[in-house]
């Protein structure tokens, strides 16, 4: 008897099972590959930012102020001048046109600075973060994009280190970027290679990258990726007015940081909290074993 051509039901099910097994084996590899590429991009972002910081220092012999504000400790609310340290780096990050558009005589929230304030810069967003995907995933040339006016300010998933403990952003902080700071490399007596300058933020603040608030400044007073702090609790629960918060990321197991010497390193979230605090202090006088981080 002549057999009909084509697949039988059993053969079809066998082939389907093989395909499912192959997908289950290959999908995790594909996902890991994509995350590895995103992590490399994030590292490159931080390298650009620390190089821009060093470029600024070479021209001015001082680090940019973490936040320019003469009204007192910086609260996590809109208002005040509060120009962030990131605005000072724009000319050193190929963003001269944005820098030239800022009116530094007016506050961040002044209407004259609206167009700059709502501009998203891809270098300021880790590709692993939801903020990057919301801002750039549908754009072919995602270097700078102006967000629809009135929707949200341009975000940053990176922040400068203002202090080694949880405390308001003020003039007496022990990091390298804080309110009206004017830090020179000579002030970083612990050594540039053992002092955190810039790190990742897991949940960016809606105040945006122009704001010298917790949107662009964090401290090492919290463990990396600490889920117990108010920074990532329900949006229905307001933060304390001067709460700043710590560093974190959407990468598995830790976050990426740039140090004063220009190096960029991934720090595990299991790092000793005491060591992390020391890394956030520019001049505590404590020696840190490189193997501890």
What percent of the chain has pLDDT above 90?
Answer: 52
Per-residue burial over 215-235, b if 16 or more Cβ lie within 10 Å, else e, is: bbbbbbbbbbbbeebebeeee
Instruction: Please give the residue that has the higher pLDDT: either 277 or 128.
Output: 277
pLDDT at 239 over 90: no
Instruction: Please give the residue that has the higher pLDDT: either 184 or 76.
Output: 184
Torsion, Cα of 59, 60, 66, 68 (10° steps): -120
pLDDT at 126 over 60: yes
Report pLDDT for 76: 57
Report pLDDT for 149: 44
- Condensed to tens digits (0 to 9), the pLDDT of residues 257-271 reads 999 999 999 999 999
Please give the distance of CA 206 from its chain centroid, rounded to a whole number. Answer: 13
Structure-block tokens of residue 281 = 């202090």
Mean pLDDT of the chain: 83
Q: What is the three-state SS of the chain?
A: CCCCCCCCHHHHHHHHHHHHHHHHHHHHHHHHHHHHHHHHHHHHHHHHHHHHHHHHHHHHCCCCCCEECCCCCECCCCCCCCEEHHHHHHHHHCCHHHHHCCCCCCCCCCHHHHHHHCEEEHHHCCCCCHHHHHHHCCCCCCCEEECCCCCCCCCCCEEEEEECCCCCECCCCCCCCCECCCCCHHHCCCCHHHCEEEEECCCCCCCCCCECCCCCEEECCCCCCCCCCHHHCCCCCCCCCCCCCCCCCCCCCEEEEEECCCCEEEEECCCCHHHHHHHCCCCCCCCCCHHHC
Report pLDDT for 164: 96
């Amino acid at each position: 008897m002549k057999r009909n051509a084509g697949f039988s039901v059993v053969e079809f099910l066998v082939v389907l099972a093989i395909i499912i097994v192959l997908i289950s084996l290959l999908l995790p590899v594909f996902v890991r590959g994509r995350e590895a590429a995103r992590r490399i991009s994030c590292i490159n972002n931080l390298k650009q930012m620390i190089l821009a910081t060093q470029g600024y220092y070479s021209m001015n012999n001082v680090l940019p102020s973490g936040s320019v504000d003469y009204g007192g400790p910086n609260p996590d609310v809109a208002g005040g001048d509060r120009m962030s340290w990131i605005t000072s780096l724009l000319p050193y990050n190929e963003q001269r046109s944005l820098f030239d558009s800022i009116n530094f005589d007016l506050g961040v929230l002044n209407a004259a600075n609206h167009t700059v304030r709502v501009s998203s810069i891809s270098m300021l967003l880790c590709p692993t973060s939801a903020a990057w995907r919301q801002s750039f995933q549908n754009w072919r040339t995602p270097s700078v994009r102006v967000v629809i006016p009135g929707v949200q300010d341009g975000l940053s998933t990176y922040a400068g280190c203002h202090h080694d403990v949880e405390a308001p952003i003020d003039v007496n902080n022990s990091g390298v970027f804080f309110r009206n700071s004017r830090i020179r490399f000579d002030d970083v007596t612990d050594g540039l290679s053992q002092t955190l300058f810039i790190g990742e933020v897991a949940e960016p603040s809606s105040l945006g990258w122009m704001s010298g608030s917790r949107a662009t400044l964090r401290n090492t007073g919290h463990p990396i990726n600490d889920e117990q702090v108010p920074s990532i609790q329900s949006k229905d629960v307001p933060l304390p007015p001067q709460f700043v918060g710590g560093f974190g990321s959407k990468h598995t197991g830790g976050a990426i940081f740039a140090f004063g010497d220009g190096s960029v390193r991934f720090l595990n979230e299991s790092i000793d909290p005491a060591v992390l605090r020391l890394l956030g202090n520019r001049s505590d006088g404590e020696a840190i074993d490189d193997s501890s981080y």
